[in-house]
Amino acid sequence: MAAKTMQDLLIEELRDIYHAEKQILKALPKLAKKVNSEALRAAFEEHAEQTKGQIERLEQIFEELDTRTRGKPCEAMQGLIEEANEILEMGMAPEVTDAALIAAAQKVEHYEIASYGTLHAYAQGCGLTKVAQLLEETLNEEKETDKKLNKLAINDVNKKALQVSGKAA
């Protein structure tokens, strides 16, 4: 469907992020099984649970907009997930792989932050207060996840990766 109005554009972008979230939900448990760090595994598992809630919130938004719940292939997320999977094939030390996977996860978070920020602005502009509130809730969760990943990288995972790389942390 060609977007003719701002609300059409909002719906198209909602379909994109809906598909992206579905891809993330599928990828996170697989990545969690491959990490070395227990804290990173827990973070990935926690975010998978959070993603389920975000998908439900998107479904609630589609209902609120009285439109069919369906995704539109999100090639950007597909590419980010492929990059994360490539990291697993690089043969790095497990600690270095963990550091690289945090970077890959933060790329995903930044894509989501940009997407939800835009969607929130569109919903506000269309006067869709309830939709905007739901999107803001997800946006705040994505920002918080990014902060947690950054903290985990700086305070733990990157230091361990540097140690096995022969650099003092």
Q: Is the predicted pLDDT of residue 1 greater than 90, yes or no?
A: no
Mean of pLDDT over the chain: 94
Query: Model confidence over 126-139: pLDDT tens digits?
Result: 999 999 999 999 99
- How far apart are the C-alpha atoms of 61 and 112, rounded to whole Å? 16
- How far apart are the C-alpha atoms of 133 and 139, rounded to whole Å? 10
Q: Which residue has the tokens 């995903």?
A: 108
Contact 137, 53 (CB under 8 A): no
Half-sphere exposure of residue 7: CA atoms within 13 angstroms, side-chain side: 11
Phi/psi of residue 168, nearest 5 degrees:
-70, 140
pTM, entire model: 0.92
Query: Model confidence over 77-136: pLDDT tens digits?
Result: 999 999 999 999 999 999 999 999 999 999 999 999 999 999 999 999 999 999 999 999
Query: Model confidence over 57-75: pLDDT tens digits?
Result: 999 999 999 998 888 899 9
Domains for the chain: give ranges and CATH numbers.
6-164 (1.20.1260.10)
- How far apart are the C-alpha atoms of 150 and 145, rounded to whole Å? 9
pLDDT of 168 reads 53
pLDDT of 86 reads 95
Q: How far is CA 60 from CA 41, 131, 139, 152, in A?
A: 29, 9, 16, 32
